[in-house]
Amino acid sequence: MSKDAQGSRTALTVIGATAIAATVLVASGCAAPGDPGSSDGDVVLELAQWWEPELPDGAFRELIDEFEAENPGITVELLSGPYASTKEQLFAGAAAGTMSDVVGLDGAWVSDFKDQGALADLSALMAEADYDESQLASQIQLDGATYMIPVVNFVYPMFTNDDLLAEAGVDAPPSTRSEFAAAAAALTELGGNTSGWILPLSLEAPNGIQNDVMSWVWASGGSMLADGQPDLTNDEVTSAVEYIKGLWDDGVIAPGAFTMKEQDKVEEFTNGRVGMMISSLAHINLIRESNPELSFSISALPAEDGFDGERGIPYASWGIGVSESSENKAEAWKLVEFLMSEDVNSRLSSIANAFPGNTASVPDFVEGDELFATAFDIYQSGYPANEFTGLPVAEQLMRLFDEQFQRMLEGDQSVDEMLSTTQEAWMNEF
């Protein structure tokens, strides 16, 4: 679960009972929000999201039909589309005050939309509905109020190639930084273009800073923020960056890191050229389909030696929010509450191959798949860790960090210089 200590240091708070994105915000329609709907007085809610196209055909509509049956007088119109187009519509809707009643959200955009006054205060809606917040695995808060609730969550554990580890004489996936460094060295010593760890640092897609670099901070309970502001020169961030610099200097990181993207990382691991990577749980089936012969495991991210607290684990979420411009906020909250209910959230997470946002929900796939069961254990024993969620211009912050991080790896500046320069650049964005 999320920590009070972590939450108190940042204006953006991720509140959780278990672990939790972020991928993308989506969109709105062109009609005026909160349209009362049909002439018989029924309320028509628009739900704009990118989820339906990514789920089995008809699966999401079936859940919505069930909601309508349980709530006579409320009709839900699904506005579904791919990320690229729906994100553009969402920005337009927020600017024009025509955002859909209920919207799918990516945490990276919550701050911007909150500042525009486009999102309703979910804390107030929950209080009005006398809703028990303890059943929510997490909430995304700004200035003490909730603006997004993660509906389902995609976590990023450590993937390890079982056969390569065994060949290198490593008995089990590493649990500490020292064990990881030793395993990475042993894997690299196998030769044959084999590397211990893979680190994507493309400036074009800089989410490697979030998933593959800052995750080392969160895995040991650290933070890159203080009272919602950048705090990149603290001991926790410094220690993690120094650790990765050591791995780089030891030559255990796969070549080509500076131009590598996430999909390149997954391909290298799938083809057996790298022993360890941090990646999304969603890639398990992709790896299995691409290389059925590959034997691999997943585990929690290694923590600092001696650390015995809860480990943060990176995540991405399908979040949900309510438009401030909606004239039907009470009915909109009913839809949110429905999707977050124990049974419905279990079914939604099952068809999405993700983990639930309700603390009592359990996806079906956990019972029939050892790797997913292990991932669920990791999910429940840790806490959600993605401090980029809710920050302004989150992707640009990653890119600014990445630029200086690459210079540091090349030896053009020290770790302290790199973090100080990035701290200043981040402060300019805040």
Mapping DSSP to helix (H, G, I), strand (E, B) and coil, where does residue 226 land? strand
Q: With 70 as the cut, is the pLDDT of residue 22 above it?
A: no
pLDDT of residue 339: 98
Q: What is the dihedral sign for C-alpha 348, 354, 357, 360?
A: positive
Domains and CATH numbers, the chain: 4-155+314-384 (3.40.190.10), 158-310+393-429 (3.40.190.10)
Identify the weakest region by mean pLDDT among 15-24, 111-120, 191-200, 300-309: 15-24
Kindly provide the b/e burial profile for residues 298-325, where b requires at least 16 CB atoms within 10 angstroms of the residue's own CB: bbbbbbbeebeebbbbbbbbbbbbbbbb
pLDDT for position 262:
87
Strand, helix or coil at 263? helix
**Measured torsion, CA atoms of residues 346, 22, 311, 8, in degrees rounded to the nearest 10:** -110
Q: What percent of the chain lies above the pLDDT cut of 70?
A: 90
Choose between 383 and 173: higher pLDDT. 173
- Could you tell me where the beta strands, DSSP code E, fall in 125-199? 138-142, 145-155, 158-161, 195-197
- pLDDT of 82 > 50? The answer is yes
Cβ neighbours of residue 251 under 8 Å, at least 6 residues apart?
Answer: 188
pLDDT digits (tens, 9 = 90+) for 208-227: 999 999 999 999 999 999 99
- DSSP-derived letter for residue 242 is H
**pLDDT score of 41:** 56
Position 19 pLDDT exceeds 80: no
20 pLDDT above the threshold of 60: no
Residue whose structure tokens are 């977050």: 340
404 Cβ contact partners less than 8 Å away, ≥ 6 residues apart: 413, 418, 419, 421, 422, 425
Q: Looking at residues 321-331, what average pLDDT do you find?
A: 97
- 281-297 burial, b if ≥16 CB within 10 A, otherwise e? bebbeebeeeeeebebb
pLDDT for the residue 255: 96
Residue with the larger pLDDT of the pair 11 and 14: 14
Confidence category of residue 23, pLDDT binned at 50, 70, 90:
very low
Tell me: the pLDDT tens digits for 99-121?
A: 999 999 888 778 888 989 999 99
Q: Where is pLDDT greater, at 205 or 193?
A: 193
Q: What is the pLDDT of residue 15?
A: 54
Q: Please report the pLDDT score of residue 375 as a whole number.
A: 85
Lowest mean pLDDT among 30-39, 105-114, 287-296, 386-395: 30-39
pTM of the model: 0.74
Rounded Cα distance between 157 and 165, Å, is 17
Q: How confident is the model at residue 14 (pLDDT cuts 50, 70, 90)?
A: low
Amino acid, single-letter form, for residue 219: A
| Average pLDDT over the chain, rounded to an integer | 87
More confident: 339 or 355: 339
Listed residue (211, 429, 406, 430) closest to 418, CA to CA: 406
Burial class (CB in 10 A: 0-12, 13-18, 19+), 116: middle
Question: What's the pLDDT at 13?
Answer: 53
Rounded-to-integer distance, Cα 46 and Cα 192, Å: 55
pLDDT at 84 over 60: no
User: By C-alpha distance, which of 176, 154, 119 is closest to 325?
Assistant: 119
Contact 419, 241 (CB under 8 A): yes
Q: With a cut of 90, say whether residue 354 has pLDDT above it.
A: no
Answer yes or no: is pLDDT of 427 > 90: yes
pLDDT in tens, 223-249: 999 998 999 999 999 999 999 999 999
Percent of the chain's residues with pLDDT above 90: 66
Lowest mean pLDDT among 187-201, 294-308, 385-399, 406-420: 385-399
CB atoms < 10 A from the CB of 417, how many? 13
